[in-house]
Chain A
Amino acid sequence: MKFKAIPTVPLLAGLGICLAVVFYCALLVGPVDISIVEASMNWIQKESSIGSLILFDIRLPRALLALFIGATLGLAGAALQGLFRNPLAEPGIIGVSNGAALGAVLVFYFGYANIAWFALPFGGLAGALVSVVIIFMLIGNSRSNVTLILAGVAINAIGGALIALSLNFAPNPYAIQEIVFWLLGSVSNRSINELMIALPFMLVGWGIILYCGRFLNALTLGEETASSMGFDVKRLRWTLVIGVAASVGAAVSVAGNIGFIGLVVPHLIRPFVGHEPRRLLLASTLGGAILLVTADIAVQLLSSGGELKLGVFTSLVGGPFFLFLILKTRNTLL
Chain B
Amino acid sequence: MSLLSGTNLSYRIGDLSILEGIDIEVKPGELVGLIGPNGAGKSTLLRLLTCVEQAHSGEILYEGRDVNELSAEERARRIGYLVQGAKAYWPITVEKIIGLGRIPYQKWWRDASAEDDEKVLQAMKITETLAYRNRIVTTLSGGEQTLVMLARIFATDPQLIFADEPVAALDPYHQLHVMEILRDHARDSRGAVVVLHDLSLAARFCDRLYLINHGELHCAGTPTEIMTAENIAEVYGVKTRITGDAEGVSVIPVSRLGDHHP
Which A positions have Cβ atoms within 8 angstroms of B? 8, 85, 211, 213-214, 217-222, 224-225, 227-232, 274-277, 332, 334
Partner of B90, one of A8, A220, A224, A229: A220
Partner of A227, one of B52, B89, B111: B52
Q: Find chain B residues with CB under 8 A from A274 CB.
A: 92-93, 96
18 contacts between A and B (CB under 8 A): A211-B108, A214-B103, A220-B88, A220-B90, A220-B97, A221-B89, A221-B100, A221-B152, A222-B83, A222-B87, A228-B79, A228-B80, A229-B100, A230-B72, A231-B72, A274-B96, A275-B91, A334-B138
Kindly supply a per-residue 1/0 record for chain B positions 239-257, scoring 1 wherever the CB is within 8 Å of any chain A CB and 0 otherwise.
0000000000000000000
Most buried by B among A221, A224, A228, A277: A228
| CB pair B89 A220 closer than 8 Å | yes
| CB pair A229 B88 closer than 8 Å | no
Q: Kindly list 9 other residue pairs between chains A and B, CB separation below 8 angstroms, not including A220-B97, A227-B52, A277-B90.
A: A214-B103, A222-B86, A224-B83, A228-B50, A229-B76, A230-B75, A230-B104, A274-B92, A276-B96
Output the nearest chain A residue to B92 by Cβ-Cβ distance: A275
Kindly supply a per-residue 1/0 record for chain B positions 57-97, scoring 1 wherever the CB is within 8 Å of any chain A CB and 0 otherwise.
00000000000000111011001110100111111110011
Output the nearest chain A residue to B80 by Cβ-Cβ distance: A228
The 7 A-B pairs with the shortest beta carbon distances in the complex, nearest first, are A230-B76, A228-B81, A230-B72, A85-B89, A275-B90, A227-B52, A224-B83
Output the nearest chain B residue to A333 by Cβ-Cβ distance: B91
Q: Find chain B residues with CB under 8 A from A334 CB.
A: 89-91, 138
Q: Report the minimal beta-carbon distance from A208 to chain B, rounded to whole angstroms.
A: 12
Most buried by B among A213, A277, A334: A334
How many A-B pairs fall under 8 Å by CB?
76
| CB pair A229 B104 closer than 8 Å | yes
Q: Report the minimal beta-carbon distance from A212 to chain B, rounded to whole angstroms.
A: 8
Output the nearest chain B residue to A270 by Cβ-Cβ distance: B90
Q: Find chain B residues with CB under 8 A from A8 CB.
A: 111
Q: Beyond A228-B50, A230-B72, is A214–B90 a contact (Cβ under 8 Å)?
A: no
Q: How far is it, in angstroms, between the C-alpha of A276 and the C-alpha of B91 when the chains are bound? A: 9
| CB pair A224 B103 closer than 8 Å | no
Q: How far is it, in angstroms, between the C-alpha of A221 and the C-alpha of B103 when the chains are bound? A: 12
Q: Find chain B residues with CB under 8 A from A218 CB.
A: 100, 103
Q: Is residue B106 contacting chain A, with contact meaning CB distance below 8 A?
A: yes
Q: Is residue B47 contacting chain A, with contact meaning CB distance below 8 A?
A: yes
Partner of A276, one of B47, B50, B92: B92
Q: Find chain A residues with CB under 8 A from B80 CB.
A: 228
Q: How far is it, in angstroms, between the C-alpha of A220 and the C-alpha of B80 when the chains are bound? A: 16
| CB pair B76 A221 closer than 8 Å | no
Q: Find chain A residues with CB under 8 A from B50 CB.
A: 228
| CB pair A220 B138 closer than 8 Å | no
Output the nearest chain B residue to A81 by Cβ-Cβ distance: B90
Q: How far is it, in angstroms, between the C-alpha of A46 and the C-alpha of B86 when the chains are bound? A: 64
Q: Report the minimal beta-carbon distance from A268 to chain B, rounded to whole angstroms.
A: 15
Q: How far is it, in angstroms, between the C-alpha of A92 and the C-alpha of B111 when the chains are bound? A: 31
Q: Find chain B residues with CB under 8 A from A224 CB.
A: 47, 52, 81, 83
Output the nearest chain A residue to B101 by Cβ-Cβ distance: A229
Q: Beyond A228-B76, A232-B72, is A220–B92 a contact (Cβ under 8 Å)?
A: yes
Output the nearest chain A residue to B108 by Cβ-Cβ distance: A214
Q: Find chain A residues with CB under 8 A from B152 CB.
A: 221
Q: How far is it, in angstroms, between the C-alpha of A232 and the C-alpha of B75 when the chains are bound? A: 12
Q: Find chain A residues with CB under 8 A from B87 CB.
A: 221-222
Most buried by A among B52, B90, B106: B90
Q: Beyond A230-B73, A277-B90, A332-B91, is A217–B100 a contact (Cβ under 8 Å)?
A: yes
Output the nearest chain B residue to A277 by Cβ-Cβ distance: B90
Most buried by A among B83, B100, B108, B152: B100
Q: Report the minimal beta-carbon distance from A63 to chain B, rounded to whole angstroms.
A: 29
Q: How far is it, in angstroms, between the C-alpha of A213 and the C-alpha of B108 when the chains are bound? A: 7
| CB pair A222 B72 closer than 8 Å | no
Q: Find chain A residues with CB under 8 A from B106 CB.
A: 214
Q: How far is it, in angstroms, between the C-alpha of A227 and the C-alpha of B91 when the chains are bound? A: 21
Most buried by B among A213, A219, A229, A277: A229
Q: How far is it, in angstroms, between the C-alpha of A229 and the C-alpha of B155 when the chains are bound? A: 12
Q: How far is it, in angstroms, between the C-alpha of A220 and the C-alpha of B100 when the chains are bound? A: 9
Q: How far is it, in angstroms, between the C-alpha of A227 and the C-alpha of B50 when the chains are bound? A: 9
